[in-house]
């Protein structure tokens, strides 16, 4: 009898854990990362692919919400192969030494226009604190996360000071997700 009671408690705890902790997990279905920078007065657009993420988010449980995402700068694409090759070298992304860019949320709060994620971004061995404003739109078991932020490329050793290349890079991130485990 004691054995059945213990098994019952374990089953109840497992079901309750999945309900409490598993319900806010989002599985990445597709992602998009696009960046914009001004170069010699022209807007240059580029992208990165191969983004992976762990997302646990509920607008009703922001204190338990978090995300960790990684992008691979080796996948950079600007439409000019020679430029892409140069961006992968040591004076920019140095993909041999730093193969990933990591963003990890530390705190998420509700804002006037959606949510603000207070994050640590690690790029080329430098970690800085940033805030990423984002929108969350859910339809049944699917959801979209969309955020836009800017950073100073010089803070991360991406190139040198230049009169033709802007210091500010604007980044748009979008993720299409479905309920599940990451």
Residue 16 has pLDDT above 60, yes or no: no
Tens-place pLDDT, residues 164-175: 999 999 999 999
Question: Do 76 and 93 form a contact (C-beta atoms < 8 A)?
Answer: yes
Residue 41 scores a pLDDT above 60: yes
pLDDT value at 46 more than 90: yes
The number of helix segments (H) and strand segments (E) in the chain equals: 2, 9
Side-chain half-sphere CA neighbours of 130 within 13 A: 24
Q: Which of 154, 147, 110, 148 is nearest to 128 (CA)?
A: 154
Distance CA 159, CA 152 (A): 11
Mean pLDDT, rounded, of the chain: 89
At residue 23, the pLDDT reads 55
* pLDDT at position 5: 38
For residues 41-50, average pLDDT:
94
The predicted model scores a pTM of 0.83
96-115 per-position pLDDT tens digit: 999 999 999 999 999 999 99
Residue 10 has pLDDT above 60, yes or no: no
Domains along the chain with CATH numbers: 25-179 (2.40.128.110)
The per-residue pLDDT for 131 is 97
How much is the average pLDDT of 9-29?
57
Looking at residue 107, its pLDDT comes to 97
Max alpha carbon distance in the chain (Å)? 79
């Amino acid at each position: 009898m004691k054995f059945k009671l213990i098994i019952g408690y374990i089953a109840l705890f497992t079901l309750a854990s999945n309900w409490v902790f598993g319900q806010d997990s989002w599985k990445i279905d597709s992602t998009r990362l696009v960046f914009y920078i001004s170069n010699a007065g022209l807007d240059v657009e580029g992208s990165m692919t191969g983004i992976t993420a762990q997302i646990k988010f509920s607008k009703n449980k922001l204190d338990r919400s978090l995300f960790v995402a990684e992008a691979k700068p080796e996948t950079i694409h600007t439409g000019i192969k020679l430029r892409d090759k140069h961006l992968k070298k040591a004076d920019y992304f140095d993909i041999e030494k730093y193969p990933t860019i990591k963003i990890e949320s530390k705190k998420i709060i509700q804002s006037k226009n959606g949510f603000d994620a207070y994050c640590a971004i690690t790029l080329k061995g430098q970690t800085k604190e940033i805030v990423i404003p984002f929108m969350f739109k859910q339809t049944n078991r699917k959801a979209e996360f969309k955020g836009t932020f800017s950073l100073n490329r010089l803070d991360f050793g991406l190139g040198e000071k230049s009169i033709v290349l802007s210091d500010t890079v604007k980044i748009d991130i979008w993720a299409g997700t479905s309920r599940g485990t990451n």
